[in-house]
């Protein structure tokens, strides 16, 4: 059987990994400034993480949600402590799309309404409602198309206000990434998030903070939406939550009550997933990784702003993007093939940096030196 060919891939086979480094099957070492798409939060194969999952696997890996799973309660407790949102409730699932799907569904159940406000260039996942709220017609199948999603320009307070004035009584939810990731690293401004909070309060709608990529400490705050100083009603989480183990979830404000069977999942919150997620939070806490993300991110962004050619350096913490002009269009490829550094991209010309939150000083310096060198090689090539 052949694989269903949906991914354009780099011809590299990774066989082992440690911290911010991965090795291929020729034993070539790469620096991972991509974190497997913002997933690696505490570093590859962190010893505490490996030990906690291994021990759990030797005890019990899975049983269904029909029994008590104290690890889920332990995870909820730790998540409340690290995120600062101790009075929220936790529902566990398996991926980012599923987290958003459940968040949107819960908002609709709660309000009895069916309209959702989403934003241009947003990415919320590939399941039915999440993909309908994603601003990319190429990945929305005919069956996913719905009149229920209203797309507005990001950070346009007037458009948001007008939309609520016209149909606020039908709006179940506003869903927004604190920093758009797939869309190319665009920050939702603090004022805009405050307007969302205010209008949701005024019209009884639910504010959903999609924190799948920008959350879990990546921005230097636990949720990047926290910079605005106002809480969301639901936070969706996934990528960094399990450091590669598939686990997602939503954190739900206390005023949204649960009802039996309104949400559910077979695999979500299983013993192994909880062990992985707990190990991540324990390491984030003990190694102060949120602080590290904030510091290393500021350092990298300052250095990027001083490099020739790079444009519109932007981001928060270790979620960073910059535009690459036509003259430097080979930069991402050169970084990988000549510099042995993985980075991410966003169409048409954005390089994204999404490394582990444990990125250390040596790797930061190595990244910046290699980037400088690759830029200078391209710029000094005749006929460029
Ligand atoms: C902001 C955001 N939301 C949701 C998703 C979907 O997550 P998953 O691929 O785990 O379903 C992604 C994935 O890139 C994302 O960046």
Q: What is the DSSP string of 60-114?
A: -----TTS--HHHHHHHHHHHHHHS-TT-EEEEESSHHHHHHHHHHHHHHHH---
Contact predicate 353/320, CB 8 Å: yes
pLDDT cut 90: percent of the chain above it: 98
Structure tokens at 337: 């093939």
Name the band, by pLDDT with cuts 50, 70 and 90, for residue 347. Answer: confident
For residue 304, the model assigns a pLDDT of: 98
Q: Which two tokens stand for residue 17?
A: 């990994």
Asked if the 47-286 domain carries CATH number 3.40.640.10, the reply is yes
Task: State yes or no: pLDDT of 82 exceeds 70.
Answer: yes
Which residue matches tokens 């291994």?
54
Cα 329 to Cα 6, 39, 127, 296, 378: the distances in Å are 24, 26, 33, 26, 9
Mean per-residue pLDDT for 39-50? 98
The upper half-sphere exposure of residue 180, i.e. CA atoms within 13 Å in the direction of its Cβ, equals 24
Instruction: Name the token pair of 380.
Output: 């000094």
What is the spatial distance between Cα 245 and Cα 254, in angstroms, rounded to a whole number? 28
Cα of 340 vs its chain's centroid, Å: 24
Pocket test residue of 134, 179, 238 for ligand 1, highest count of atoms within 8 A of CB: 238
Percent above pLDDT 70 for the chain: 99
Q: Residue whose CA is closest, atom 9 of ligand 1?
A: 96
- Ligand 1 first shell, C-beta below 6 A: 95-97, 100, 123-125, 177, 181-182, 210, 212-213, 238
The DSSP 8-state label assigned to residue 28 in this structure reads -
Strand partners, 319: 316
Q: Hey, what are 156's tokens?
A: 């346009």
Closest CA to 236 of 214, 205, 263: 214
- Cα 63 to Cα 99, 119, 223, 268, 273, distances in angstroms: 21, 38, 30, 10, 11
pLDDT > 80? residue 156: yes
- 205-232, pLDDT tens digit by residue? 999 999 999 999 999 999 999 999 999 9
Q: Give distance in angstroms: CA of 268 to centre of ligand 1.
A: 16
What's residue 104's pLDDT?
98
> Which region, left, alpha or beta, applies to residue 244 given φ > 0 means left and ψ of -120 to 50 means alpha?
left
Is the per-residue pLDDT at 384 higher than 70?
Answer: no
Give the position, in ligand 1's atom list, of the atom nearest the Cα of 37: 14
Closest Cα to atom 7 of ligand 1? 96
> Is residue 145 classed as helix, strand or coil in its secondary structure?
coil
Which of 273, 188, 283, 231 shows the shortest CA–CA distance to 88? 231
User: Which residues lie below 8 Å from residue 131, measured CB to CB, with a gap of 6+?
Assistant: 97, 124, 125, 139, 140, 141, 144
Q: Report the alpha-carbon distance of residue 22 to residue 244 in Å, rounded.
A: 14
Q: What is the pTM for the complete model shown? A: 0.98
Q: What is the CA(226)–ligand 1 centre distance, in A? A: 19
């Amino acid at each position: 059987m052949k694989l269903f060919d949906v991914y354009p891939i780099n011809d590299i086979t990774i066989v082992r990994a440690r911290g911010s480094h991965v090795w291929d099957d020729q034993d070539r070492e790469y620096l991972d400034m991509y974190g497997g798409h913002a997933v690696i939060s505490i570093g590859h194969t962190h010893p505490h993480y490996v030990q906690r999952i291994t021990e759990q696997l030797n005890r019990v890996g899975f049983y269904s949600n029909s029994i008590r799973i104290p690890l889920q309660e332990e995870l909820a407790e730790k998540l409340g402590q690290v995120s600062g949102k101790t009075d929220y409730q936790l529902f566990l699932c398996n991926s980012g799309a599923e987290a958003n799907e459940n968040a949107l569904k819960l908002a609709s159940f709660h309000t009895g309404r069916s309209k959702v406000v989403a934003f241009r260039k947003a990415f919320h996942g590939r399941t039915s409602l999440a993909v309908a709220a994603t601003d990319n017609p190429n990945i929305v199948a005919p069956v996913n198309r719905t009149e229920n999603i209203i797309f507005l320009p990001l950070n346009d307070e007037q458009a948001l206000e007008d939309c609520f004035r016209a149909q606020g009584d039908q709006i179940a939810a506003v869903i927004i990434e604190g920093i758009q990731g797939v869309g190319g690293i665009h920050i939702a401004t603090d004022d805009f998030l405050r307007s969302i909070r205010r209008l949701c309060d005024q019209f009884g709608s639910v504010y959903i903070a999609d924190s799948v990529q920008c959350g879990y400490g990546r921005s230097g705050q636990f949720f990047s939406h926290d910079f605005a100083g106002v809480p969301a009603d639901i936070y969706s989480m996934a990528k960094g939550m399990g450091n590669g183990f598939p686990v997602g979830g939503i954190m739900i404000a206390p005023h949204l009550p649960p009802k039996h069977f309104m949400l559910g999942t077979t695999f979500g919150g299983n013993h192994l997933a909880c062990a992985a997620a707990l190990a991540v939070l324990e390491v984030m806490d003990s190694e102060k990784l949120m602080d590290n993300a904030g510091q290393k991110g500021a350092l990298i962004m300052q250095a990027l702003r001083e490099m020739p050619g790079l444009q519109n350096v932007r981001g928060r913490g270790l979620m960073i993007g910059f535009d690459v002009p036509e003259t430097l269009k080979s930069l991402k490829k050169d970084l990988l093939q000549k510099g042995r550094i993985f980075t991410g991209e966003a169409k048409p010309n954005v390089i994204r940096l999404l490394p582990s939150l444990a990125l250390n000083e040596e790797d930061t310096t190595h990244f910046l030196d290699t980037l400088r060198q690759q830029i200078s090689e391209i710029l000094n090539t005749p006929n460029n």
